[in-house]
Amino acid sequence: MTEKEKQQAGELYNGNDPELIAERVAAKKLCAEYNSAQYNDYQKKERLLDRLLALRGENTWIEANFFCDYGYNIIIGDNFYSNHNCVILDCAEVIFGNNVFIGPNCGFYTAGHPIDAEQRNKGLEYAKPIKVGDDVWIGGNVCVMPGVTIGSNTVIGGGSVVVDDIPADSVAVGNPCRVIRKITEKDKM
């Protein structure tokens, strides 16, 4: 089994594998080109996202600076907006539903490292997928950790560190992020 196959299977793998390094370099080059493109060169930015991401829906806008590890594990639905300085460590799949809005300085981290120092020092790591449902708003400076699912129609408050799944129709905040209440009809303006 190759290191990439181990990675995609959620097993421990060597992140310093030459194939994985080459794929990260290719993605970093596309991110650098995207980040340096003129702000209003929409066609160029769309072409770069099409080359970088596995799949994206209509009306995708990602503010510079944007960084990811591979790109081919990122799937984005329709009407997606990410503010400045989004980081997606997509060693495993990261799926965003439709109508997802992400504040500045947010990170989605599928990558993790063993607690055991001997394994960690060998360069071993693992990856667990992240899934974000439809109609989700994620405030600024939020970190979403490996293996987390955020349900649809949910708001994650700024500065949160999401370490566990968050159910649909929730307002959640904190470190660690916890549901503070359900979204109700009273929330409609």
| Residue burial 94-104, b: 16+ Cβ < 10 Å; e: rest | bbbbbbbebbe
Question: Residue 95 corresponds to which amino acid?
Answer: I
The two three-digit tokens of residue 61, written as one number: 């806008």
| Residue burial 49-61, b: 16+ Cβ < 10 Å; e: rest | beebbeebbeebe
Reported confidence tier of residue 177, pLDDT bands at 50, 70, 90: very high
Reported confidence tier of residue 189, pLDDT bands at 50, 70, 90: confident
Averaged over 92-117, what is the pLDDT?
A: 97
Tell me the pLDDT tens digit for each residue of 114-139.
Answer: 999 999 999 999 999 999 999 999 99
Helices of type H across 16-165: 18-36, 42-52, 117-121
Strand ranges in 83-134 using DSSP code E only, listed in sequence order: 86-89, 94-96, 100-102, 107-109, 111-112, 124-127, 130-132
- Report how far residue 16's alpha carbon sits from residue 121's, in angstroms, rounded to the nearest whole number: 12
Which one is catalytic: 6, 24, 84, 113? 113
Cut 0.85: pTM above it: yes
Q: pLDDT at position 188, please?
A: 80
Which homologous superfamily is 3-187 in? Hexapeptide repeat proteins (2.160.10.10)
pLDDT of 84 higher than 90: yes
Tell me the pLDDT tens digit for each residue of 138-167.
Answer: 999 999 999 999 999 999 999 999 999 999
Active site residue 84: no
Averaged over 106-120, what is the pLDDT?
A: 96
Tell me the pLDDT tens digit for each residue of 23-82.
Answer: 999 999 999 999 999 999 999 999 999 999 999 999 999 999 999 999 999 999 999 999
The two three-digit tokens of residue 57, written as one number: 């829906």
Domain ranges within the chain, ordered by starting residue: 3-187
Cα 37 off chain centre by: 22
The two three-digit tokens of residue 184, written as one number: 């109700």
